[in-house]
Amino acid sequence: MPTAATWLAASRPKTLPAALSPVLIGTAMAFADDGLHVLSAILCAVSAACIQIATNFHNDVADYEKGSDTPNRKGPVRVTAAGLVSPSTMKRATVGAFGMAILAGGYLMVRGGWPIVVIGIFSILFGILYTGGRRSLASLGLADLFVFVFFGPVAVAGTYYVQTLTINAPVIIAGLAPGALSVAILLVNNTRDVGEDALSGKRTLIVRLGRQWGARLYGLCLGVASAVPIVLALSHPASSTVLVALLALPAGVYVLHRMRSETDGARFNQFLARTAQVLLLYSILFSIGWAV
């Protein structure tokens, strides 16, 4: 039987900041507009985490079945490929995690109506299509776009809307930052795995454009994250304290510098963890800066 440690590894905890950070930002912006709804905020976090974990489970078994995860893999162990969890068990766990997301999101769908229903349906659908099927989003090189949209503006706006039942431009703009930094996490992962992905036919954006584009696009993501608080501070001077979020980005600049020349897969695992930390710290500082 798989152990708790095995399931923890399969859930890929280093990726969870991508799911929780936009919820944090959306909640902080709802609080600043006197629209905080605690139950909705908690259920948004639970549902987002469950969808992320379910997607990771599905990715684990799908990449194993497609042959993308091999013994020469540079990244962290994938439990299905390592024989720690059977494919059938992992598929049941995927269904269970998606089911928990639906249960947590049930109240949100009632409260928020059809916009939240649509977000929930497409979030689960794209979680499955990320690596599922012969024409998955990752294989088509489209995963980065959907990560940017759904871990960015959609997640922040959805969290804000289900609490306040309204929406505004600053919320959409704010969502661009966690979306960009979530893409940065994916870029580190795909730059590390570019060789294995190419051999298995998984044509990610980095496989299509070339390894050197990993660092270039990572820099673009940092640029977007830098621009967001500046734009919001200029358009809303009363909330200029949001500029404190910029303090989180120097660690990302360090990763960018190292990505340009590093080829050791173990180092990229460290870069991935550090980028996730940048996203989480950025979101915390952004939330505090906007709320005060």
DSSP of 219-236: HHHHHHHHHHHHHHHHH-
pLDDT of res. 163 = 97
pLDDT of res. 207 = 87
Measured distance CA(118)–CA(29) in Å, rounded: 22
Place of tokens 């940065």: 184
pLDDT of res. 20 = 95
Residue ranges, the chain, pLDDT below 50: none
pLDDT of res. 182 = 95
Q: How does DSSP classify residue 12? A: -
The count of other CB atoms within 10 Å of the CB of residue 250 is 10
Place of tokens 């080829």: 263
Domain that holds residue 212: 4-291
Measured distance CA(73)–CA(85) in Å, rounded: 17
And the tokens for 131? 């690596």
CA–CA distances in Å: residue 255 to residues 126, 191, 259, 261, 272: 28, 13, 6, 11, 9
Instruction: Give the tens place of pLDDT for each residue, 248-257.
Output: 999 999 999 9
Residue 43's nearest CA partner among 97, 103, 98 is 103
Query: Cβ contacts of residue 26 below 8 Å, gap of 6+?
Result: 44, 155, 156, 157, 158, 159, 160, 163, 171, 175
Domain count, the chain: 1
pLDDT of res. 75 = 64
Instruction: Give the tens place of pLDDT for each residue, 162-210.
Output: 999 999 999 999 999 999 999 999 999 888 888 887 877 778 888 888 8
